[in-house]
């Protein structure tokens, strides 16, 4: 009599359920108004400026002179941007976990754009001279601490925390096979989907593996009467 074995195998895969991160609605810049560093972006170029922001990297911080820090990690991306009257608004997606934790506690940040222009023209604004930029394009967006003195525009700030998504999709693909001396045949394939916080990934993975091993052992035990077992004395 030929014995047969049940083999239960479990493949575990983790996928993003949706794009991870915190999404925030914010004002990024103003038009026809001087910034803190005496730059002015033209209202007529608002639509083009908004389009140039889409997909750009977001970094964090500035030095004591208000200059954007460049050699710092990318913390997010500009998901969308549009002109609304004399402001450029948009949605930023932040994936830096440290900043996400502060957003959860209610912290709000300011924003400042960085870019290039074909040329600028100095104009007098009261007692100050302002550099009016022409054919400007945004190259990045900087998130700054909530300090109006260091922002590009005092009104360039977070308006609303839209959502925070920290979940991933856990997919377990279980295959049950019956094998004997002549080969194996698949009895069943089961796919299970779960959504959970990434911090639970390790625990669930270990549990899934242990469950698969237990099922494998249990299946073999149930078939012991049908097995031919060779022993040595």
pLDDT of residue 231: 37
pLDDT in tens, 63-122: 877 788 888 999 999 999 999 999 999 999 998 888 988 888 888 888 989 889 999 999
pLDDT at 212 over 90: no
- Among 14, 8, 15, 13, residue whose Cα is nearest residue 174: 8
The tens digit of pLDDT for each residue in 25-44 reads 999 999 999 888 888 999 99
pLDDT, greater one: 204 or 162: 162
> Is the pLDDT reported for residue 209 higher than 70?
no
Q: Is the pLDDT of residue 53 over 90?
A: yes
pTM: 0.63
Beta bridge partners of 83: 88
- According to the model, what pLDDT value does residue 79 have? 93
Domain ranges of the chain: 5-17+167-226, 21-165
**What is the length of the chain?**
233
Q: What is the pLDDT, as a whole number, of residue 87?
A: 93
Candidates 142, 162, 151; CA nearest to 25 is 162
Ranges 5-9, 163-167, 169-173, 200-204, most confident? 163-167
pLDDT of 5 higher than 60: no
Strands of 39-41's sheet in order across:
39-41, 128-134, 119-125
For residue 33, which of 148, 155, 116 has the smallest C-alpha distance? 155
Segment 118-138 shows an average pLDDT of 90
Distance CA 232, CA 227 (A): 16
Distances (CA, A) of 148 to 36, 112, 144, 153: 9, 11, 9, 7
pLDDT of 220 over the 60 cut: no
pLDDT at 122: 92
- pLDDT band per the 50, 70, 90 thresholds, residue 8: low
Structure tokens at 166: 């920290």
Model pLDDT for residues 144-197, shown as the tens digit of each residue: 887 656 567 777 888 888 877 765 444 556 666 666 666 666 666 665 555 545
pLDDT (0 to 100) of residue 214: 56
CA distance to 13, 84, 200, 224, per residue, from 205 (Å): 9, 47, 9, 29
Residue 14 reports pLDDT greater than 60: no
Tell me what pLDDT residue 168 has: 46
**Residue 90: what pLDDT?**
93
């Amino acid at each position: 009599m030929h014995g047969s074995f049940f083999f239960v195998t479990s493949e575990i895969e983790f996928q993003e359920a949706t794009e991870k991160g915190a999404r925030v609605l914010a004002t990024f810049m103003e038009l026809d108004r001087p910034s803190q560093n005496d730059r002015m972006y033209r209202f007529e170029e608002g639509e083009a400026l908004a389009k140039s922001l889409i997909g750009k990297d977001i970094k964090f911080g500035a030095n004591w002179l208000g200059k954007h820090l460049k050699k710092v990690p990318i913390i997010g991306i500009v998901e969308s941007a549009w002109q609304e009257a004399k402001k450029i608004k948009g949605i930023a997606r932040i994936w830096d976990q440290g900043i996400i934790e502060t957003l959860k506690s209610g912290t709000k940040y300011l924003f400042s754009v960085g870019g290039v222009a074909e040329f600028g023209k100095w104009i007098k604004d009261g007692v100050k001279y302002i550099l009016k930029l022409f054919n400007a394009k945004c190259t990045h967006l900087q998130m700054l601490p909530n300090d109006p003195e260091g922002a590009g525009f005092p009104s360039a700030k977070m308006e609303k925390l839209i959502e925070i998504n920290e979940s991933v999709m856990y997919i377990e693909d279980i295959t049950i096979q019956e094998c004997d001396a002549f080969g194996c045949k698949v009895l069943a394939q089961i796919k299970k989907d779960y959504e959970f916080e990434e911090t639970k990934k390790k625990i669930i993975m270990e549990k899934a593996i242990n469950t698969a091993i237990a099922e494998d052992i249990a299946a073999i035990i149930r078939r012991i009467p049908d097995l031919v077992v060779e022993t040595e004395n």
